[in-house]
Structure 1
């Protein structure tokens, strides 16, 4: 698969913005951005391309104002094509278990349900429209949240609340999600992308390689021992010390100017 990044793909739109920021939009608003085989293939391509592209922070959102993503397209599931919504290396939607080297922010603008919530949980941060809802309703249709929801949600919010959401299939609103620590902030109606871009801009103002290395460590805190995390940190420092940006921060501080990050 080529790493060349098109300006837009039919079901996954990619917009490059200043400051090394990109917005990726799931583009099936007529079905609440539900995931079908085509969007799975296209999103997997976009993830790989952005890993190689000169983009430092990515915002993921859904087209329209009804849903971030309503999960798997049940027409696809009902026709026995569930496997076509997964890729071997990245899981559901070509996204939830993908190896992503850069920060991803979910800008949730409506319902994030089932696989949609699992996609948001796969991101590093979540900004939610005040009208947003979050839930794992799989049990209501005889399914299991196998795309990360059943184990990622209890890592993020109090386990008892996560267990209740998983077992009942009931959803929670944006303010409850914020109070539980599921989302970073709640935006006014229609402004989730705007607020997510403000967060992305703050992140992109920092040295990009240290951001990536720091998040790579932080993502592993729940499944590595402290000694393994120490070794991972030492290895990150060793790689960082060989970059051009390593000396730029201290030099800019001494020269009383803003650093100019090169990302290499």
Structure 2
């Protein structure tokens, strides 16, 4: 799917062996998420789940400045739907509430704020460019991190660190994110996709059914739903 008035696809999908690479392709908008991106990413993720040849997914952003700047505020101001029109349940970017049992790796090629951090939080593994920053600045705008950010970050960081991020809205660097266990690797500028693919190769060399079963058990998945997170989603919706 392309952006309105633009012949460039909002999302790019390629296969590197048994790894699907999804690229958010809106560098001119800092890879902000609109409806076209949500369709491209959500459909690609579903395709990966159903394709026996795909053993892992890497998601990244186009360009070298921004992984994802969050929601497209211009699209929202125009009252456009920024979710997948047929799968609202998949959530922001067609990704954050769209569980697949194949490993997902975020290759964070630049700044990841708001929804960009929430995409990383929704991924199983994260590799980040040394220049990357992570943050949930929604409170500075009278909003909350409603794409899973509030309840996921307190589970993935020490609580005091997570609460400081949530309550101040201030970002952290890639090196801090690594030190506190939010991400798996920090790599030099321009090397993030190759590093993510190398990490994927270390995963996909293993028995695929064992990998998928391990992920389902680790997340506590019942019928494709991460049961422990459902209450967090419900609380988030009540506060919006």
**TM-score under structure 1 length normalisation:** 0.77
1:13 maps to which residue? 12
**In structure 2, what is the Cα distance between the partners aligned to 1:132 and 1:197?**
18
Tell me if structure 1 keeps the 8 A contact 2:76–2:82: no
Equivalent of 2:47 in 49, 69, 73: 49
Q: Are positions 1:111 and 2:119 aligned together? A: no
- CA drift at 1:79: 2.9
SS in 2 for 1:85: coil
- Given that residues 106 and 125 in structure 2 are in contact (C-alpha distance below 8 angstroms), is that contact kept between their aligned partners in structure 1? yes
Cα distance between partner residues in 2 of 1:78 and 1:157 = 33
2:22 to 21, 24, 27: 24
Corresponding residue number in structure 2 for 1:233 = none
TM-score, normalised to structure 2, is 0.85
Where structure 2 has 5 or more consecutive residues not aligned to the other structure, the ranges are 1-7, 229-240
Q: Is the 8 A contact 1:72 1:85 kept in 2?
A: no
State the shift of 1:185 in Å. Answer: 0.7
Write out aligned runs for 1:138-177 (5 A). 138-177=138-177
Aligned-residue offset at 1:146 = 0.8
SS in 1 for 2:177: helix
Aligned residue pairs total 214
Cα displacement (A) at 1:223:
5.9
Greater C-alpha Rg: 1
Bigger relative contact order, structure 1 or 2 (CA pairs below 8 A, ≥6 apart): 2
1:155-207, Cα deviation, whole Å (9 max, x unpaired):
00011111111111100000000000000011111111111111100111001
Structure 1 stretches of at least 4 aligned residues deviating more than 6 Å after TM superposition: none
Match of 1:100 in 2: 100
CA distance in 1, matches of 2:82, 2:188: 36
1:60-119 CA-to-partner distances (Å, cap 9, x unmatched) read 1000011110100111222334x5336422111111000212100000011111011111
Q: Which position in structure 2 is the counterpart of 1:76?
A: 75
Whole-angstrom distance in 2 between the partners of 1:223 and 1:47: 20
**Offset at 1:56?**
0.1
* Counterpart Cα distance in 1 of 2:20 and 2:217: 23
Contact 2:67-2:109 at 8 Å conserved across structures? yes
Conservation of the 8 A alpha-carbon contact between 2:113 and 2:136: yes
Structure 1 stretches of 5 or more lacking a match? 1-8, 225-264
Task: Tell me how large the CA RMSD over aligned residues is.
Answer: 1.6
For 1:184 and 1:35, locate their aligned partners in 2 and report how far apart those are by CA, in whole Å: 24
Residue matched to 2:4: none
Q: Which residue of 2 aligns with 1:133?
A: 133
Task: Give 3-state SS (helix, strand or coil) of 2:60's partner.
Answer: strand
Q: Equivalent residue of 2:89, what SS?
A: coil
